[in-house]
């Protein structure tokens, strides 16, 4: 059994895929396997993956008909054998000591989740926030579970993406990523936090997140219908989050208040450039869901 299984869902990313996979090959920590799932790519992505399989036995490749990102993650989970699980999106890449830092910190702290800071790469420039300010606020960088889970609303600590960390594989027992939804990180990561016992954050920056034109999270940002669709998906994920919170009876009042605060904040985001009908549709949707959670 290997120490770390790295899951890489792949779909039409031939332009970026070599940079991603080369960054894995350069890792200073070498006890890992790579599970690549080609999710029905129509470009050269599958062929590129085959090249890496042929030159390094740690790389494994599964091809499937398109199921979407969550479906590809679920297939990855079926084939992973490592003690810890890490994720890497196929248009992102890693610093050379990414795994070494995460594994070393886990061994020192006994944490079942270890997170690391991220850099954002957009328009050929890097954008770097201070994770020392974020994680350094907690003694020994141990992040309270309640704080980690509350990041599903505001993203202050960059803890909601499934990438940028390693997790004890046992946390994934019984976990299935919800398929057919965008923002699948927001709708799934909290399940793992609920089961965790200790979460540690490393303030150094080790994961490079690429924002590109045409990515799932970036298309149509200025289009009203896309914005409304996005908001519907966020509310769907957050109400699923609240369902899990209530069933677990975990800090229910605290998270009810956070969700109400989040909905109020979204109501303030009505764009004056939208026509009256669009503004009314946006408000009515959010008001309906806010009223459902009034106490």
Q: What is the pTM of this model?
A: 0.91
Q: How many domains does the chain have?
A: 2
Three-state DSSP class for residue 155 = coil
Distances (CA, A) of 61 to 5, 51, 71, 76: 13, 10, 15, 10
pLDDT digits (tens, 9 = 90+) for 221-256: 458 888 898 899 999 989 999 999 999 999 999 999
- Do 47 and 154 fall into the same domain? yes
Cα R_g (the chain), whole angstroms: 20
| pLDDT at res. 137 | 84
- Residue keyed to tokens 């992973």: 80
Residue 181 Cα to chain centre, angstroms: 13
Q: Which of 230, 221, 237, 212 is nearest to 90 (CA)?
A: 212
| pLDDT at res. 216 | 44
Residue 11: domain span: 4-210
pLDDT class of 295 with cuts at 50, 70, 90:
low
**How far apart, in whole angstroms, are the C-alpha atoms of residue 274 and residue 278?**
6
- Do 206 and 120 fall into the same domain? yes
- Do 51 and 103 fall into the same domain? yes
Domain assignment present for residue 123? The answer is yes
Q: Where among 210, 236, 252 does a domain terminate?
A: 210
Domain assignment present for residue 215? The answer is no
- Do 108 and 235 fall into the same domain? no
Exposure string for 66-103, b = 16+ CB within 10 A, e = fewer: ebbbbbbbbbbbeebebbbbbbbbbbbbbbeebbebbb
In degrees and rounded to multiples of 5, residue 44 shows phi and psi of -90, 10
| pLDDT > 90 in the chain, percent | 74
Q: What is the DSSP string of 114-129?
A: EEEEEEEEETTEEEE-
- Do 28 and 138 fall into the same domain? yes
Distances (CA, A) of 6 to 82, 119, 125, 184, 234: 9, 19, 26, 18, 27
Q: Where among 157, 188, 210 does a domain terminate?
A: 210
Residue 220 has pLDDT above 50, yes or no: no
- Do 203 and 228 fall into the same domain? no
pLDDT, mean over the chain: 91
Mean pLDDT, rounded, for 15-21: 98
Instruction: Give the angle 165-118-132 at the CA atoms, nearest 5°.
Output: 95
**How far apart, in whole angstroms, are the C-alpha atoms of residue 266 and residue 287?**
10
58 contacts: CB under 8 Å, gap ≥ 6: 2, 32, 33, 34
Residue 261 has pLDDT above 70, yes or no: yes
Locate 22 and state its tokens.
Answer: 């080369």
73 contacts: CB under 8 Å, gap ≥ 6: 7, 9, 37, 87, 162, 177, 184
What are the beta bridge partners of residue 113? 167, 199
Q: Where among 178, 210, 242 does a domain terminate?
A: 210
Count the alpha carbons within 13 Å of 169 in the hemisphere toward its beta carbon.
Answer: 17
Residue 219 has pLDDT above 80, yes or no: no
pLDDT digits (tens, 9 = 90+) for 180-204: 777 777 778 999 999 999 999 999 9
């Amino acid at each position: 059994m290997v120490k770390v299984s790295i899951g890489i869902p792949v779909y039409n990313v031939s332009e970026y895929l070599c940079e991603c996979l080369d960054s894995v090959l350069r890792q200073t920590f070498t006890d890992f396997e790579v599970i690549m799932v080609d999710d029905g790519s129509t470009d050269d992505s599958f062929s590129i993956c085959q090249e890496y399989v042929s030159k390094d036995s740690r790389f494994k490749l599964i091809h499937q008909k398109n199921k979407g990102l969550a479906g590809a993650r679920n297939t990855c989970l079926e084939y992973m054998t490592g003690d810890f699980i890490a994720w890497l999106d196929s248009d992102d890449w890693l610093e050379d000591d990414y795994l070494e830092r995460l594994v070393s910190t886990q061994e020192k702290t006994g944490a079942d989740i270890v997170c690391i800071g991220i850099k954002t790469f957009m328009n050929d420039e890097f954008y770097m926030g201070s994770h020392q300010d974020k994680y350094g606020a907690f003694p020994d960088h141990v992040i309270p579970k309640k704080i980690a889970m509350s990041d599903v609303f505001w993203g202050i600590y960059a803890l909601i993406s499934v990438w940028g960390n390693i997790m004890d594989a046992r946390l994934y027992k019984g976990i299935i990523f919800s398929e057919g939804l965008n923002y699948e990180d927001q709708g799934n990561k909290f399940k793992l936090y609920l089961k965790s016992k200790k979460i540690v954050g490393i303030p150094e920056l080790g994961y490079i997140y690429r924002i590109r034109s045409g990515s799932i999270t970036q298309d149509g940002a200025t289009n009203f219908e896309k914005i409304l669709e996005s908001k519907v998906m966020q509310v769907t994920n957050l109400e699923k989050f609240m369902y899990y919170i209530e069933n677990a009876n975990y800090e229910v009042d605290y998270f009810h208040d956070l969700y109400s605060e989040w909905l109020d904040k979204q109501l303030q985001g009505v764009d004056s450039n939208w026509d009256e009908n669009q503004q009314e549709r946006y408000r009515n949707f959010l008001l309906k869901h806010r009223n459902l959670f009034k106490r």
